[in-house]
Structure 1
Amino acid sequence: MSHHISGPRAVAEPIADITDLYAFPSPEHPGRLVLVLNTLPFAPPSAVFSDGLIYRFRLRPLTASDQEDGAPFTAGGEEIVIDCVFSAPVGGHGANGPGQEGTCSVPTGETVSIRVTDDCGGQADGVRVFAGPRWDPFIMDAPATLKTIATGKLAFTDPGAIYLDGKNVLSLVVEIDRTVLPGGAELVGVVAETLTRGSLNVRLERVGRPEVPNLMLAPKQFDSVNRDLEIRDLYNMDDAFHLSRAYEGAYRARLNANLAFWDSLDGKTDWPAREDGAHPLTELILADFLVVDVTKPYAEQGSFLEIELAARRGEAHRTCGGRALN
C-alpha cells in the first residue's frame, strides 16, 4: 500500500506528491532510526527534486492515552524537525541526468551536504542521508481497488498484480542516532511533509500511515453528511499532530462511513459502530502518524500497526512498529 496521487493538488503538482513514508530501526546500525520519504510517481531517469520545496520529517514523543475508544497515543509538544532542500539542477546529461546538490538540516544543528544520485550519500556525526531515484515499492492492484469501491464487492483476483511495477520514485533517506530524539523518547510518532520554500511555508502534502487519503477519505458515496466534498487536499494541508477543528467533523463523518464500508466487504462486521454512530477505529486513523519504538530491533514482517493494535487490546507491544520496506 502507498500514498500516490492523494488529491487534486498531488495530480497538479506531482513533484510535491509524497508516495511513501517508512520509519524503522536500522537493521545494520543498532541505535539508529531510518526515515524514508518517496516522492514523484512515475519519476523518469532524469528526475530531480524541486528547488521550490522543503522535504520535511517531523518526530514527536508519544505517551499512552487514557481515552476510551480514542487514539491510543498522545503526541507530546516537543518536536524534532529534519528539513532537506535542493538546488536548481545544473547542466548535464546521461544516465544520471542533471547534477543537483542538497542540504539536510538535522537535530544536532549540523547540515549534511548531499549530491543527488550519489550512492554514498552524505554523512555527519550520527547522520547519513541519501537522495535519488529508486524503484517504486508500491504493491497494489489499483484497478481492482477502484472496482471494489464502485461495486461494493471485492474485485481482487490476481494476488500478484502490481500496478506500478518497474516504475521509479525519488527517494530521500535519513538515518539518525536515536539519542537526538526529544527527551530520550522511546516511542515516537513520525510524519513526512512537503512545503513551499521561502518566507511563507505552505504545507502541500503530509503522510503518516499509507492510503488514508485515497482509500479511507476519497470515496464519497457512503458519506451522507459530506457527499459532495473532495476532502483530501484539506486533510493534506492539516497538521497531523494538531488537526484543525474547522474540519474535524468532516474527517470523522467520512471515516465513520468508509471504515464501515471496508469492514463490510467480507459479509460481516468486525468493528460495530458505537451508539453515536462513530466507528471505533476513526480516532486511531485520525492520529495519522507512524508509531515507532526505537528501542526494539528491526522487524521486517509483522510490525506495521502492531503497536497500535496491542494498545487497543491493553497489551504490551512486541515489535518496533513503524513501517519497513518488506
Structure 2
Amino acid sequence: MSDHGSSPRAVADPVIDITDLFAFPSPERPNHLILVMNTFPYCGPSALFSDAIDYRIRLRPLTIASTGAKAAFAVGEEETSFSCTFSAAQKIKGSHQFVQEGVCRTAHGETITFRVNDGHGSQSGGLRVFAGMRLDPFFLNGEGILATVLTQKLAFPGNGNNTAHGYNVLSIVIEVNVSDLFKSGDGLLFAVAAETMTIGSVRSRLERAGRSEIKPLVLLLKNLDPVNRDLELRELYNLEDPFQLGPHYVGAYRARMNANLPFFDGLDGKTDWPLDQGGTHPLTELLLADFLVVDVSKPFTEDGWFEIERAMLKGEPHRTCGGRWLNHDVIDSIFNLLVNAGNGPLISDGVDQATQPSSRAFPFLSPPNPSPPSTLPNLSATIAASATRD
C-alpha cells in the first residue's frame, strides 16, 4: 500500500502508479534536499520507465496559517518542479539487454541528462539525478491490515510478514541544493508532491501522491460513507492539483474522510479524536492538504514524518525536519496517529523494516532484487472488496 495500487486505474496500468514519495534533508551533504519518487510497483527485472509519461516532483513554500484544532497551512504561489522524461528503450547491439536515457528539467530551465540504472547518477551544478530499478523500501503487514479492517479491531500479531518483501520499483532520486529551489529565496518550509502526467499538447494528471496511505486507506472504504457509498473517489482525487483542490468534489473527499477516520479511531475501543459539532474529524482538513511537509532548516532525522503537523495540532513549535525518510516505519506511525492520536499504547503491525534497509549515501535505495516474487499482491483491492460486505 502506501500508494501502491491506490486506484483501479493504477492497478490496471501500473506503469503510471506512484508507490511512494520521500523528502528529507541529505544525511551526507548539508544544505541539500533529497526527493525520491517510486513508481511501477512489483515490476519485473526488465521494466523501464514509460516514454509517454512525465514524472514530476513539485514543491511550493509553506507557512503555518493556524495551529490547534483548526491547524492549517498556507501554500505559496511560487513553485519549483523537477520533470523527468524518458526516451524509448534501445536494444544494445548483439545483446538482449535494453538501455534507456532520461532528462530532468527544472522549473528554472536547468536540464540534466542521465542513463537509467547508472548507480552513480548524473550531476550538474547543484543538481544530481538517479533513475532506475531499486528494491522497494516500503514494508507493511498486509494480512494484519486486512484482518483489522474485516474484524473492525486491531489484528496485528507480535511478528508479521512483510507483504512488500523482495519486490522492486522504478525510482527517481533527486538531490538539489536548497538555495537553488526558489528564486525569491523565501521560506525554509516546503510542500512536496509527486505526479505522473501525460506528455503532449493535451496534458492530463494520471496519478498523484503526497502523504502515505491517503488513497489506499483513508479514502478507500466506501461502505461507511453515507454520501458517496457507491462512488470510487480516488480516480477523481488523482486528477486534482495537490496544492489546490478544485471546488467540485472537495465536499465528497471531506465526507469520505469524516466517515472513515472515526472507523480507525475506534479500532481500540475508545475515542481519541472527537468530532466537532458539524461532524468534522480533527485530521480531515490537514489530510486534505495532501503533500509532504519538510523544514530544510532542521537537520536530517529518521522519524520526522507528520511531526510538524502534530506540533501544529498541539499549538507547539515543531522540532524536526518533517518529511519522510526511506526507512521510517510509516505504517506504525499512521496507525498510532489514526487510532490513538499518539496517546498510547504503542501500536505495531509486527513488521519493522524493509527487505533491506536503505543507506545514507546517494542514491540511498538498495539495489534491486534480481529474482523478485512472481505473484503480485493487490491488498488495496482486497480490502476494498471485503469492506463493501455489510
Identify if the C-alpha distance between structure 1 residues 274 and 96 changes in structure 2 by more than 3 Å, giving closer, same or farther.
farther
Give the distance between the partners of 1:96 and 1:19, measured in 2 at CA. Answer: 28
What RMSD over aligned residues (CA atoms) do the two structures have, in Å?
1.7
| Equivalence map 1:91-110=2 (5 Å) | 91-92=91-92, 97-110=97-110
Q: Does 2:236 align with 1:269?
A: no
Matching residue of 2:323: 322
> Alignment partner of 2:99: what SS?
coil
One-letter code of the match for 2:60? R
Matching residue of 1:181: 181
Q: Does 2:251 align with 1:249?
A: yes
Identify if the C-alpha distance between structure 1 residues 93 and 71 changes in structure 2 by more than 3 Å, giving closer, same or farther.
farther
Identify if the C-alpha distance between structure 1 residues 275 and 105 changes in structure 2 by more than 3 Å, giving closer, same or farther.
same
Q: Does 2:287 align with 1:312?
A: no
Identify if the C-alpha distance between structure 1 residues 96 and 149 changes in structure 2 by more than 3 Å, giving closer, same or farther.
farther
Q: Does 2:171 align with 1:167?
A: no
Greater shift, 130-139 or 106-115, is seen at 106-115
Matching residue of 1:210: 212
Deviations 1:164-203 (A, max 9, x none): 2001000000000111222322000000000001111100
Q: TM-score, normalised by structure 2?
A: 0.80
Matching residue of 1:24: 24
Give the distance between the partners of 2:71 and 2:47, measured in 1 at CA. Answer: 39
Aligned residues: 325
Shift of 1:137: 1.4
Matching residue of 2:222: 220
Give the distance between the partners of 2:296 and 2:94, measured in 1 at CA. Answer: 40
Shift of 1:246: 0.6
Matching residue of 1:199: 201
Percentage of identical aligned residues: 55
Q: Is the 8 A contact 2:63 2:189 kept in 1?
A: yes
Q: Is the 8 A contact 1:45 1:97 kept in 2?
A: no
Matching residue of 1:44: 44
Shift of 1:123: 0.8
One-letter code of the match for 2:297? T
> Alignment partner of 1:69: what SS?
helix
One-letter code of the match for 1:25? P
Q: Is the 8 A contact 2:67 2:312 kept in 1?
A: no
Give the distance between the partners of 1:95 and 1:81, measured in 2 at CA. Answer: 36
Identify if the C-alpha distance between structure 1 residues 208 and 93 changes in structure 2 by more than 3 Å, giving closer, same or farther.
farther
Shift of 1:95: 11
Q: Is the 8 A contact 1:45 1:96 kept in 2?
A: no
One-letter code of the match for 1:223? D
Q: Any unmatched runs of 5+ in structure 1?
A: none
Deviations 1:207-234 (A, max 9, x none): 0001100100011111111111111111
Q: Is the 8 A contact 1:82 1:107 kept in 2?
A: yes
Identify if the C-alpha distance between structure 1 residues 67 and 249 changes in structure 2 by more than 3 Å, giving closer, same or farther.
farther
Q: Is the 8 A contact 1:96 1:117 kept in 2?
A: no
One-letter code of the match for 2:141? D
One-letter code of the match for 1:303? G
Matching residue of 1:303: 304
One-letter code of the match for 1:118? D
2:260 to 258, 262, 270: 258
Q: Is the 8 A contact 1:43 1:169 kept in 2?
A: yes
Q: Any unmatched runs of 5+ in structure 2?
A: 328-390
> Alignment partner of 1:149: what SS?
helix
Q: Is the 8 A contact 1:107 1:180 kept in 2?
A: no
One-letter code of the match for 2:22? Y
Give the distance between the partners of 2:105 and 2:235, measured in 1 at CA. Answer: 27
Deviations 1:282-303 (A, max 9, x none): 0000000000001111101x21
Q: TM-score, normalised by structure 1?
A: 0.96
Q: Is the 8 A contact 2:153 2:267 kept in 1?
A: yes
Identify if the C-alpha distance between structure 1 residues 233 and 71 changes in structure 2 by more than 3 Å, giving closer, same or farther.
farther
> Alignment partner of 2:20: what SS?
strand
Identify if the C-alpha distance between structure 1 residues 159 and 285 changes in structure 2 by more than 3 Å, giving closer, same or farther.
farther
Give the distance between the partners of 1:93 and 1:315, measured in 2 at CA. Answer: 61
Give the distance between the partners of 1:320 and 1:187, measured in 2 at CA. Answer: 9
Q: Does 2:241 align with 1:239?
A: yes
Matching residue of 1:9: 9
Give the distance between the partners of 2:254 and 2:41, measured in 1 at CA. Answer: 29
Greater shift, 32-41 or 150-159, is seen at 150-159
> Alignment partner of 2:217: what SS?
helix
Shift of 1:92: 3.5
